[in-house]
Amino acid sequence: MLGFLSLLLALLPAVSSPDWTKDFDEGVAAYRRGDYASAETLWKEALRAPELEAFDRAAITRNLGNAAWRQARGLEAVAWYTASLRSSPRDAETWASLEHARQASELEPADRGDLTSTLRRIVESWTPAEAQWMVAGATFLWLLALIGEALRGGIAWRVAAWSGFFLVAVAALPLIWHLRGADREVWMVVERDVELASEPRADLGATGAVEPAQEVIGLDQVPDWVRIETAGGARGWVPRESVMPLTPLSTNS
Amino acid sequence: MNKRILAALAALVCLGALPQAAQNRASVQTRLTQGIVKLGAVVGLIVEVDGTDQAQIDELPKVAGLTIGPVSRPSRQFYQSLINGRFQSTTRVTWTVDVRPIGTGEFEIPPVVLRVDGQRIETRPQKLKVVEDLQGGDLGLFEITPSTRTVVEGQPFSIHIRFGFDATLSKRVNYANLSLPWWGAMPGTLELEQGITNRNRQTEVTLNGSETILVERRENELVRGREFVIFEVKQSLIPTRTGRLEFSGNVFEFGQLRGGTFFTRQSKAEAYYVVADEFGVDVIALPEDGRPFDFGGAIGSIDVRATTDTRDLTVGDSVKLTVEWFGEGNFEFFDAPDPARGDGFGDFRVYGSTEKSKGFDHRSVVYDLAPLTASVDEIPGVRLPVFDPETGEYLEVTTPAIPIRVRALEGARTLEGGAVEPAYERDIEDIQAALPSRTGRRDLPGIPNGVLAGALVLTPLSWLFVRTQVRRRLGNPDAPLERRRRRARRELGKALSRAQSPRDEFEAVLTFLGARSRESDSAWIGRDVADYLEERNGDAKLAPEDSRELSELLQELDASAFGEKPRSRDKATVLALADRLIGGGL
Res. B243: pLDDT tops 70: yes
- Residue B454 inside a domain? The answer is no
- Single residue among B363, B389, B407 that ends a domain in this structure: B407
Contact B436/A149, CB-based, under 8 Å?
no
- Residue B378 inside a domain? The answer is yes
Q: Do B62 and B15 share a domain, yes or no? A: yes
Q: Do B489 and B573 share a domain, yes or no? A: yes
Contact A55/B437, CB-based, under 8 Å?
yes
- Residue B312 inside a domain? The answer is yes
Averaged pLDDT of chain A: 87
Pairing of the two strands B189-194 and B202-207: unpaired
Contact B470/A127, CB-based, under 8 Å?
no
Domain boundary assignment for chain A: 3-104, 128-180, 185-251
Q: Are B11 and B333 in contact (CB under 8 A)?
A: yes
CATH of A3-104, one of 3.30.700.30, 1.10.3720.10, 1.25.40.10, 3.40.50.2000: 1.25.40.10
Distance CA(B547)–CA(B551), nearest Å, equals 6
Distance CA(B477)–CA(B467), nearest Å, equals 10
Q: Considering only alpha carbons, which residue of chain B is nearest residue A60?
A: B432
Mean pLDDT of A50-63: 89
Q: Do B94 and B122 share a domain, yes or no? A: yes
Residue B386's Cβ-side half-sphere holds a number of Cα atoms within 13 Å equal to: 26
Q: Are A244 and A81 in contact (CB under 8 A)?
A: no
Task: Give residue B421's pLDDT band: very low, low, confident or very high (50, 70, 90).
Answer: low
Averaged pLDDT of chain B: 81
- CATH second-level architecture of A185-251? Roll (2.30)
Contact B456/A133, CB-based, under 8 Å?
no
The one-letter amino acid code at B130 reads V
Residue A58's Cβ-side half-sphere holds a number of Cα atoms within 13 Å equal to: 22
Mean pLDDT of A131-151: 94
Cβ-nearest to B445 among A129, A149, A151? A129
- Report the pLDDT value the prediction gives residue B12, as an integer from 0 to 100: 42
Cβ-nearest to B446 among A97, A129, A146? A129
Res. B14: pLDDT tops 60: no
Res. A229: pLDDT tops 90: yes
Q: Over the stretch A36-47, which tens digit does the pLDDT of each residue have?
A: 999 999 999 998
Contact A69/B447, CB-based, under 8 Å?
no
> Pick from B559, B552, B543: which is nearest to B574 by CA?
B552
Interface mutation vs chain B, best among A33, A55, A141, most B CBs within 10 Å? A55
Cβ-nearest to A59 among B435, B467, B477? B435
Separation in Å, CA of B572 to nearest CA in chain A: 28
Res. A11: pLDDT tops 70: no
Q: What is the DSSP string of B131-154?
A: ES----GGGEEEEEEES-SEEETT
> Pick from B387, B181, B390, B167: which is nearest to B299 by CA?
B387
Contact B442/A146, CB-based, under 8 Å?
no
- Report the pLDDT value the prediction gives residue B230, as an integer from 0 to 100: 92
Residue B9's Cβ-side half-sphere holds a number of Cα atoms within 13 Å equal to: 6
- Report the pLDDT value the prediction gives residue B441, as an integer from 0 to 100: 78
Q: Over the stretch B250-279, which tens digit does the pLDDT of each residue have?
A: 888 888 877 666 666 666 667 888 888 888
Cβ-nearest to B463 among A97, A127, A147? A147
**pTM summary value:** 0.47
Contact B470/A150, CB-based, under 8 Å?
yes
Mean pLDDT of B377-393: 87
- Report the pLDDT value the prediction gives residue A13, as an integer from 0 to 100: 42
Q: Do B234 and B312 share a domain, yes or no? A: no
Phi–psi pair at B132, nearest 5 degrees: -65, -45
The one-letter amino acid code at A108 reads E
What is the residue range of B533's domain? 480-583
- Single residue among B357, B374, B407 that ends a domain in this structure: B407
Number of independent structural domains in chain B: 3
Q: Are A250 and A13 in contact (CB under 8 A)?
A: no
Q: Over the stretch B533-577, which tens digit does the pLDDT of each residue have?
A: 777 655 556 777 888 888 888 888 888 877 766 666 788 888 998
